[in-house]
Amino acid sequence: MNERSSVTGTAPVRTGDGRATNGEILRVKDLCLHFRTSRGVLQAVDNVSFSMQRRRSIAVLGESGCGKTSLARAILRLLPRNVHLYTGEVYLDGTNVMKLSDDWFRQKVRWVKMSMVSQAAMNSLNPVLKVGYQVAEPLLIHHRMPKKEALNRAREVFRIVGVPDDFLQRYAFELSGGMRQRAILAMALVTSPQLVILDEPTSALDMLTQANIFNALKDIKNQLDVSFILITHDISTSSDLADEVLIMYAGQLVEHSLSTTGYVKPLHPYARGLMASVPTLREDKKLEFIPGQPPSLINPPTGCRFATRCPQRFDQCSHEPPVFAVGEQGELVKCWLHRNA
Amino acid sequence: MANELLLSVKDLRTWYELKKWGFFHTGHVKALDGVTFDLSHGEALTVVGESGSGKTTLIKTILGLVPATSGEITFSSHKLDGKTSIGWLRSKVGFVQQDPYGALPPFMSVRRILLEPMVINKTGTSIEREQRIREVMEEVRLLPVNDFLSKFPHMLSGGQQQRLVIARAMILRPSLIVADEPVSMLDASVRVEILELMRKVQKTHDLGVIYITHDLSTVRYFSERVFIMYAARFVEKAEVREIIHNTLHPYTKALLTAIPDPDPENANQYRDVPAGEPPSLVKPPSGCRFHPRCPVRIEGLCEEEQPPAFESSRDHFVECWLYRK
């Protein structure tokens, strides 16, 4: 019961962060999400653990199919029907939300404490409802707020994300792609969540619009008490927002480091290959690529999942799954090369 | 041979008609509005532009998929108009699509996909066709060939699918390949592989390649010349290095500012990019199309008159009044 009461934040304005333990907003421990498919059990997210501090933003990077989006869905408990296994612990603001019932989670956690901007969400706006109403809707539902008040709050959030006030009265088709994406962002921020998951927030937008949206995100990060998890495969763009970098490979986390290490000199061989494959505009560098393909997640290799493509593998790699080692700057890396003595 | 003209496009316009209730004419979407360029044999060039700037219409017009409204396209000294044989054009121009999975028929095996163009164009005997398939597959490194021949597209990874699309574009030995965002759907680690492959193929066969992309950072790994497209026109044309180190047009400058390199410092600074959206192509702004968003516009000139292409230095053309002579 105690745990439940601590997530009952009903006020739309954020309650203080006194409850938080050592400034930690999210801690994920041994999170697994496996799906049932016709060919067997697919380990989309396998034993992922990480933690993040308040007002930080983490970029989750990896190739398509490595489990980035599944991780986001597992944290938000937005699960499809074919879930085979969904275990682990997700502490949000000190509370293990995995223990909450589905109803309670829906009413008091999702879109109240954390929200999400999903991929290509700008196309999911309802065409027959005014944008302002759609943005205010979470308040009407979660906080039972009077409509007028909710619309006022929506107007406030519109201002934060950089949408003119009169757009409240418009329909989705009257908005450009960039404005629609901002409206979706407003929808995610309207309940003042502490954690917002951005799943490829700008992948469908033009370069200039993308830069504008990231400017808005930086503003939000600097002004509000909100943490971002940015899921993307666009490594260059992710550096615009990230304080920390999580690198996923084949359903597992392989490296968690600060952006100053993660983008510059990553430790895991996969992370190194990934960073070396990013084309840069301003400096001349020889691009590299990682030969081969990621393993199937249905019967992943027993040892390190990257072993078959790794240029630095040795015997142990293909037999024993590596454990996390701590690097010099506190990076966590799942590789036998970096084992701590 | 190297300097011989392969493709020449002069003042090309492609307008799509807008109709109300199916027959009342209400205007035009001017998707291409006065585009001029030349491409030599064995030259690669890149067209960079945002979505809706007319990149794909340019490709479609060159491929003969949409008729040009006015202007001239000359391809290996044949003028392309309604009377050009489409079959001949298709065998000379290869097309690499953006989405490899969407571009490959799911019910055909790899062999069938590669055989089809040769069957349609009635080239070679069956033995020669088989040989050509193997040759091309080796070239795009779909190896071992025998393992791939009977596979279907869904059994291939994204990178392999894109290799197959490239193989199909090459199979009739074209002299020009147009590639519409060939790597935008692929993962970063595969992207480089495909770009390098395309570059190698281009060099070995002395192909002309038009590479269309929105991602300026991949350009330097691919071509010498780059054209920046904004609202249906080329606003700047120059060599890649020149564009990056001696940027002239305000739009190109904004575009370069908007593109990040992976650098942890990025998180601490804002990007200085103009707000707003590209203009409607039905009623483009008067004068220079970038003037409503331009931070350095000249009042009384930019909104009045469309700037012509000024040659600021050798082979560096820019459509901007700031550089008038």
Q: How far apart are the first and last CA of chain A?
A: 43
> What confidence score (pLDDT) does residue B76 get?
86
> What confidence score (pLDDT) does residue A33 get?
94
Strands of chain B (E only): list them: 5-20, 24-40, 44-49, 70-75, 78-80, 93-96, 176-180, 208-213, 225-230, 233-239, 310-313, 316-318
Beta bridge partners of A42: A35
Partner-chain contact B255 A207, CB within 8 Å: yes
Domain count, chain B: 1
Indicate if the pLDDT at residue B242 is higher than 80.
Answer: yes
Partner-chain contact A211 B273, CB within 8 Å: yes
Instruction: Give the number of other Cβ atoms within 10 Å of residue B119's Cβ.
Output: 12
With a CB cutoff of 8 Å and minimum separation 6, the contacts of A327 are: A257, A261, A267, A333, A338
Q: Point out the residue among B196, B267, B275 whose CB comes nearest to the CB of A240.
A: B267
Q: What is the pLDDT of residues A72-112, one digit of tens each?
A: 999 999 998 999 999 999 999 888 999 999 999 998 899 99
User: What letter represents residue A8's amino acid?
Assistant: T
Tokens read off for B164 = 């197959």
> What confidence score (pLDDT) does residue B115 get?
93
CATH of A2-7+23-113+193-338, one of 3.40.50.2000, 3.40.50.300, 3.40.190.10, 3.90.1150.10: 3.40.50.300
Q: How far is CA B158 from CA A300, B2, B179, B182, in A?
A: 20, 34, 16, 11
Chain B touched by A176 (CB under 8 Å): yes
Q: What is the pLDDT of residues A232-282, one digit of tens each?
A: 888 888 999 999 999 999 999 999 999 998 899 999 999 999 998 888 888
What's B131's domain CATH number? 3.40.50.300
Beta bridge partners of A168: none
> What confidence score (pLDDT) does residue A17 get?
39
Nearest CA in chain A to B190: A289
What confidence tier does B27 reach under pLDDT thresholds 50, 70, 90? confident
Region of B313 on the Ramachandran plot (φ > 0 left; ψ -120 to 50 alpha; else beta): beta
Domain assignment of residue B30, yes or no: no
What confidence tier does B272 reach under pLDDT thresholds 50, 70, 90? confident
Domain assignment of residue B100, yes or no: yes
Chain B touched by A280 (CB under 8 Å): yes
d(CA A157, CA A167): 12
CA dihedral A291, A297, A303, A307 (to 10 degrees): 0
Tell me which residue range forms the domain holding B53: 42-261+273-283
> What confidence score (pLDDT) does residue A341 get?
58
Count of A-B CB contacts under 8 Å: 123
CB-neighbour burial class of residue B10 (10 A; exposed 0-12, middle 13-18, buried 19+)? middle
d(CA A223, nearest CA chain B) in Å? 14
Nearest CA in chain A to B159: A293
Chain B touched by A207 (CB under 8 Å): yes
Strands of B41-69 (E only): list them: 44-49
Contact B76, B6 (CB under 8 A): yes
Indicate if the pLDDT at residue A321 is higher than 60.
Answer: yes
CA dihedral B148, B152, B155, B157 (to 10 degrees): 70
What confidence tier does B56 reach under pLDDT thresholds 50, 70, 90? confident
Indicate if the pLDDT at residue B187 is higher than 60.
Answer: yes
What confidence tier does A3 reach under pLDDT thresholds 50, 70, 90? very low
User: What letter represents residue A339's amino acid?
Assistant: R
Sign of the torsion formed by the C-alpha atoms of A188, A192, A198 and A204: positive
Contact B96, B166 (CB under 8 A): yes
Tell which residue, A47, A11, A51, A44, has the closest CA to residue A28.
A51
Q: What is the pLDDT of residues B115-138, one digit of tens each?
A: 999 999 888 899 999 999 999 999
Partner-chain contact B260 A239, CB within 8 Å: yes
What confidence tier does A8 reach under pLDDT thresholds 50, 70, 90? very low
Q: What is the pLDDT of residues A161-182, one digit of tens each?
A: 888 888 889 998 888 888 888 8
> What confidence score (pLDDT) does residue B261 get?
87
> What confidence score (pLDDT) does residue A197 get?
94
What confidence tier does A218 reach under pLDDT thresholds 50, 70, 90? very high
Domain assignment of residue B121, yes or no: yes
What residues of chain A, 45 to 64, have a C-beta less than 8 Å from chain B? 57, 63-64
Please state the domain extents for chain A.
2-7+23-113+193-338
Among A10-14, A123-127, B132-136, B308-312, which is the least confidently predicted range? A10-14
Which residues of chain B are within 8 Å of residue A258 when distances are taken between CB atoms? 264
Tell me which of A80 and A285 has the higher pLDDT: A80
Contact B202, B209 (CB under 8 A): yes
Tell which residue, B285, B325, B281, has the closest CA to residue B306.
B285
Chain B touched by A67 (CB under 8 Å): no
The interface predicted TM-score of the complex, written ipTM, equals: 0.82
Q: Please report, rounded to a whole number, the percentage of residues in chain B having pLDDT higher than 70.
A: 99
d(CA B316, nearest CA chain A) in Å? 19
Give the SS3 label for residue B45. strand
Domain assignment of residue B248, yes or no: yes
Q: How far is CA B174 from CA A192, A277, B42, B117, B262, in A?
A: 58, 30, 11, 12, 37
Enclosing H/E stretch for B202? helix B188-205
Tell which residue, B41, B38, B43, has the closest CA to residue B62.
B38
Which residues of chain B are within 8 Å of residue A238 when distances are taken between CB atoms? 262
Tell me which of A120 and B262 has the higher pLDDT: B262
Q: How far is CA B306 from CA A273, B157, B237, B286, in A?
A: 46, 46, 17, 7
Question: Is the bond into A321 cis (omega within 30 degrees of 0)?
Answer: no
d(CA B125, nearest CA chain A) in Å? 35
> What confidence score (pLDDT) does residue A22 get?
55
> What confidence score (pLDDT) does residue A1 get?
33
> What confidence score (pLDDT) does residue A15 get?
34
Indicate if the pLDDT at residue A64 is higher than 90.
Answer: no
DSSP per residue, B135-188: HHHHHTT--SHHHHHT--GGGS-HHHHHHHHHHHHHTT--SEEEEESTTTTS-H
Kindly list the strands in the beta sheet with A83-92, ordered across the sheet, starting from the edge strand earlier in the chain: A40-53, A24-37, A83-92, A95-96
Indicate if the pLDDT at residue B2 is higher than 70.
Answer: no
Tokens read off for B152 = 């279907």
Tokens read off for A253 = 């986390």
Indicate if the pLDDT at residue B186 is higher than 90.
Answer: no
3-state helix, strand, coil in chain A (%, to 5): 35, 25, 40
Tell which residue, B198, B200, B204, has the closest CA to residue B177.
B198
Enclosing H/E stretch for A19? none
Q: Give me the mean pLDDT over the B236-248 stretch.
A: 91
Q: Which of A224-228, A280-284, B182-186, B217-221 has the highest mean pLDDT?
A: A224-228
Chain A touched by B245 (CB under 8 Å): no
Tell which residue, B234, B201, B168, B248, has the closest CA to residue B9.
B234
Question: ∠ CA A289-A292-A295 to the nearest 5 degrees?
Answer: 125
Which residues of chain A are within 8 Å of residue B188 when distances are taken between CB atoms? 63, 233-235, 274, 277-278
d(CA A37, CA A44): 11
On average, the pLDDT of chain A sits at: 86
Q: Point out the residue among B187, B218, B258 whose CB comes nearest to the CB of A210.
A: B258
Domain assignment of residue B191, yes or no: yes
Enclosing H/E stretch for A7? none
